[in-house]
Amino acid sequence: MKSNKMGFENLKLSSKMHLLIIISSVVIAIGLSVGIICQFVANGFFNYNDDYANYKSVTVDYEDIDFSGSGKEPREVIDEICAKSFEKNGVSYYLLTQGNTTTGGKIVYKFAYSANSKNIDAAVAEINAEIEREVEGAGGIQFSYASSHVNDAILGNGLSLSRAAIAVATVIAVHFIYFAIRYRLTMALAAVLADVHNLALYIALVALCRIPVGSAIATFAVLTVLFTVIGTCFTFERMRKNLKSDEYKKLSAFELSDRSANETLLINVTMPACLAALSLILFVVLSISSLSPFVILAPVFCSLIAFIVCAYGTAIFVPSVYPRFKQIGDNVKAKSKAKTLQK
């Protein structure tokens, strides 16, 4: 068995179609199931880092003064006031963070996105009134304010999910039209299947792994589809050229697909790796002003997932399913021709 131009033995991927479909289906089903469950019981379908999660919050800014001569730290008094008010109004926070400012400090209470906004606002009004009474009782000047905020998880540093969805749909549509014109309808259908398969696998793996991510999710979702487009161009361009060769004309669709995949396997693995690495560098550079562990971890994780998905989808999965599309297309043509002859 000879090696081809781009260096691998014939892997006969077309014979592994059923196994590959089962593997992809199981991974996608598990990932989507985990995401859907977490949408209701955790912090969302994806594990957004705190900057991109859906939540409501109450922030109390205060000056470093002594409340009512109690000798307690201001944050202790404020925390007691807030805890009583939240309990009275039937809202409970899941996260409390504290920090210092130039004149005092800050306490932030975070609530589930489903928490009742009216109850939170009522608690805020009570907190401000109680803090004012405490400050007046101590003879101090009030410099302590509570305010509420709603975070709707708009992915500010990258593409929003809605814009990413529009971009993905546009790329897939253009991909189909281009392939249908340049190659064949069966190749266009297989190419679109590759887009949908890789995107679904990417989403499922990100949801399944539960790594805290932010804007990188949408950015690399679009890039996953773009990488897939480029990879399928290499694969089907090789098939088109092979169809013109006397050596390949007598081969079945299964043999042609296997050999073409063999010849493009190396480039379909190295290309998404290089593009993912370049995209990662660009993403981090553009986010340099807000560098944090999440800014680094999220794009690294998403770029790795995009690479794995594209390498698997374009180099292995697509060559295994294309012959079936070709077979169906040939059967449709044969039946149509038979009907025409009968007339």
The three-class DSSP label of residue 38 is helix
- 59 DSSP β-pair partners: 108, 147
CATH number of the domain to which 117 belongs: 3.30.70.260
Residue 87 pLDDT class (50, 70, 90 cuts): very high
Tally of helices (H runs) and strands (E runs) in the chain? 10, 4
CA distance 302 to 203: 10
| C-alpha distances in Å from residue 46, one per residue of 62, 204, 211 | 35, 9, 8
Query: Is 183 in contact with 322 (CB distance < 8 Å)?
Result: no
pLDDT value, residue 28: 95
Q: Are residues 187 and 335 in the same domain?
A: yes
pLDDT tens track for 265-283: 888 888 778 877 777 777 6
Lowest mean pLDDT among 53-67, 202-216, 306-320: 53-67
Please name the residues in contact with 199: beta carbons below 8 A apart, sequence gap of 6 or more. 168, 221, 224, 225, 228
* Total number of domains in the chain: 2
Residue 6 pLDDT class (50, 70, 90 cuts): very low
327 in a structural domain: yes
3 in a structural domain: no
- 213 DSSP β-pair partners: 48
Q: Are residues 219 and 80 in the same domain?
A: no
Q: Are residues 337 and 238 in the same domain?
A: yes
| C-alpha distances in Å from residue 132, one per residue of 122, 145, 275 | 16, 9, 57
Q: Are residues 34 and 66 in the same domain?
A: no
Q: Are residues 143 and 205 in the same domain?
A: no
pLDDT value, residue 54: 66
Per 3-state DSSP, the chain is made up of helix, strand and coil in percentages (nearest 5) of: 70, 10, 20
pLDDT value, residue 155: 39
The residue behind tokens 């990417």 is: 202
7 in a structural domain: no
Q: Note the pTM of the prediction, 2 decimals.
A: 0.68
pLDDT value, residue 52: 59
Q: Are residues 78 and 187 in the same domain?
A: no
Boundary of a domain, candidates 118, 152, 186 = 152
Nearest residue to 309 (alpha-carbon basis) of 238, 234, 220, 237:
220
Boundary of a domain, candidates 119, 152, 185 = 152
**Residue numbers of the domain that contains 123:** 54-152
